[in-house]
Structure 1
C-alpha cells in the first residue's frame, strides 16, 4: 500500500513508479582533458528527452581537472552545473562572470549562442559535481543567453520525513507538515525537477513525480532502493535508474544511507540535430551555427 503523499505536492496516485532500466556511465574526458564520467549521452543512453547529457566529475587529483574547460561555444540548449566540492570560475563573451562554490548551482540558457569558459579556481583538493544538458524547444533556441545562478544559501533544504533531507534546486517539495517549498530555478518550457536527496540508513520517502515527465535518479553516495515491494531496485553508487511506469516513487536508504539526484523534465518530442556544442532541430540549423560562430556572431 502506498504511503500518503504530503499535502501540496500533487493529488494521490495509485500507480507506483519503478526503475525501468539501470546503467553506469563511461569514463571520458572533455574540455582540456578534464576526466569525468558520462552517464547520459552515450550509446547506452543517448538522451532522455529533454535531457541530452549528464556528466559526473569527481577527483582529488588536480591533474584530472586543473586544465578546465577553456572558451567554447554553445547554442540551442541549457547547461546546469551543480557543484558539490571545489570552486569553478565561469566567464563568457557577453561580459558575464561568476564563481561556483560548493553547493551552488548555475543554470545557463545558451539560447542563440555564447562563448563560455569554466576554469578551476583551485590548484589542489577535491573537485566534484554534475553537469546536465537540457534541450530547448524550437521556439526558444534562438533566445538571448541568460543565467540563473544561486549560492548554497539560496537553495532551500526540506526534511519531508524522518532521516530525509532534500535540497530543492528546481521543482516543488512539501515538508513533513505539508508546507510547499519551491526551488529557485524556473524554466517553463521543460518544467524541470532537480532534487539532491539525502537518505539515512533505512529512511524512506515517497515523492509524486510531475505528470508526463521523463525522470531519472543517480546515486552518487551509498545505495538506495527505488520502487515498491518486489518491484524495488537497489541502485549502487554511480548507478543511474530510468524511472517509469507510474508517478509515485518510493525511495529508501541502504545500509550506509544514500545521496542521489532525482531529475525530471517535460519531454519536448521534437527532432534533435546535434553536433558537439550545438543542439538544433535540423542539420541546416547546425551548419548555420558553425557559420555564425566562425563569423563572430555569437
Structure 2
C-alpha cells in the first residue's frame, strides 16, 4: 500500500460566529478555502460558559450538509422542518439543508465541558434544491472498535467490519474518531480517488515522519492508505475522507451553490421568507 503523505498542514484560526461565539476553523479559511467535497471544518470548545451562552441563534442554510459531532456537552437543535433535538456528548447530527433550512444551535456545557466539531459537506448540483432532511444519533448508537492500544468510533464509513450510522451516497464520507495510546500505530486502506484530512485535537502524532501537532489539520496527499503513529502521551484525532464532486463551488456565507445567479436567488428567497420550501421528517 502507498501511505498518503501530508500535503499541507494548517493551524486552526479563531473565527467569531453565531452571537459572538469563537470557533477554530481550518477548512473554510484563506489557507484552505475548500477540500472537495468538504466546505468547512469548525472545532468548538470551551470550559468558560460565558463564551458560548449566546450560542448560534436562527440562521439559514442552502446547498449543503452540516455534520455535527459532540465530544462533550450538549447542543439543542431547532429548525424550520419542525425538528427539535438534544445532541448529547458522543452523539452526531446530520442535516441536509438542500433547498433551504433555518435552524438554531444552542450549546450547553456538561460538567464544565463543551467540545465538538461541525463539518460542512457539499451537495451535487442535482441535489442542491432537493428536500431537506435531518438525522440525529446518540452516543450509544455509534459503533466502536477497541483493542489494547486503539479505540475507533465509526461515525460514517466503515472500519474493521463496523459501519457508521451516517451514510452519504454522493461523497461516500468516512468519518472516524481515533484514540491511540502512546506510540500506537493506526493504519487504514482508503480509496485512491478520495480526498481527506486528519485533525489532531488531543496529544500529538506523526504521519510519514511528519509531525502533527495538536489543533492542526493535515491535508492528505495521494495514496491508498493512511498511517498515524501516536506521540509519547498518546493522541486523539478525527480522520475524514470523501469522494470529490468536481463541480463549481460558489459560496456566500451560509449558501453554497454552483453559480452566482443561484446565490442571488438564495439571498432573495431568504429576504422574501421563501427559503424554506419543504419540511422533512425527523429521523433518529
Listed one character per residue, the Cα deviations across residues 80-129 of structure 1 (whole Å, up to 9, x for unaligned) are 11001111100011211100110000011001001100012459822111
Whether contact under 8 Å (1:66, 1:123) holds in the other structure is no
- Choose from 191, 201, 205 the match for 1:224: 205
- Choose from 168, 193, 212 the match for 1:187: 168
- My pick for the range that moved more, 276-285 or 161-170, is 161-170
1:156 aligns with 2:137: no
Task: Give the ranges of 4+ consecutive aligned residues of structure 1 lying more than 3 Å apart after TM superposition.
Answer: 121-124
- My pick for the range that moved more, 81-90 or 242-251, is 242-251
Whether contact under 8 Å (2:72, 2:110) holds in the other structure is no
CA distance in 2, matches of 1:157, 1:124: 24
CA distance in 2, matches of 1:16, 1:81: 28
Q: How far off its partner does 1:29 sit? A: 1.0
Listed one character per residue, the Cα deviations across residues 237-294 of structure 1 (whole Å, up to 9, x for unaligned) are 1011111121111111110000000001110110111101000000000110111112
Listed one character per residue, the Cα deviations across residues 168-203 of structure 1 (whole Å, up to 9, x for unaligned) are 0001111xxxxx111010110010010000000011
1:293 aligns with 2:270: yes
CA distance in 2, matches of 1:211, 1:148: 29
Q: How far off its partner does 1:162 sit? A: 3.8
- Choose from 14, 28, 38 the match for 2:15: 28
Q: How far off its partner does 1:67 sit? A: 0.3
Secondary structure of 2:19 counterpart: coil
Q: How far off its partner does 1:42 sit? A: 0.6
- Unpaired runs of 5+ residues, structure 1, are 1-13, 175-179
Q: How far off its partner does 1:157 sit? A: 0.5
- Choose from 104, 110, 126 the match for 1:117: 104
When the two structures are superposed, what TM-score results if normalisation uses the length of structure 1? 0.90
Report the counterpart of residue 168 of structure 1 in structure 2.
Answer: 154
1:80 aligns with 2:57: no
When the two structures are superposed, what TM-score results if normalisation uses the length of structure 2? 0.94
Secondary structure of 2:266 counterpart: helix
After superposition, residues 231-242 of structure 1 pair within 5 angstroms as: 232-242=209-219
**Aligned CA-pair RMSD:** 1.2
Report the counterpart of residue 282 of structure 1 in structure 2.
Answer: 259
Listed one character per residue, the Cα deviations across residues 212-256 of structure 1 (whole Å, up to 9, x for unaligned) are 1101000000011113xxxx2120110111111211111111100
- Unpaired runs of 5+ residues, structure 2, are 277-284
CA distance in 2, matches of 1:79, 1:248: 26
After superposition, residues 265-280 of structure 1 pair within 5 angstroms as: 265-280=242-257
- Choose from 36, 39, 45 the match for 1:52: 39
Kindly tell me the number of residue pairs found equivalent between the two proteins: 275
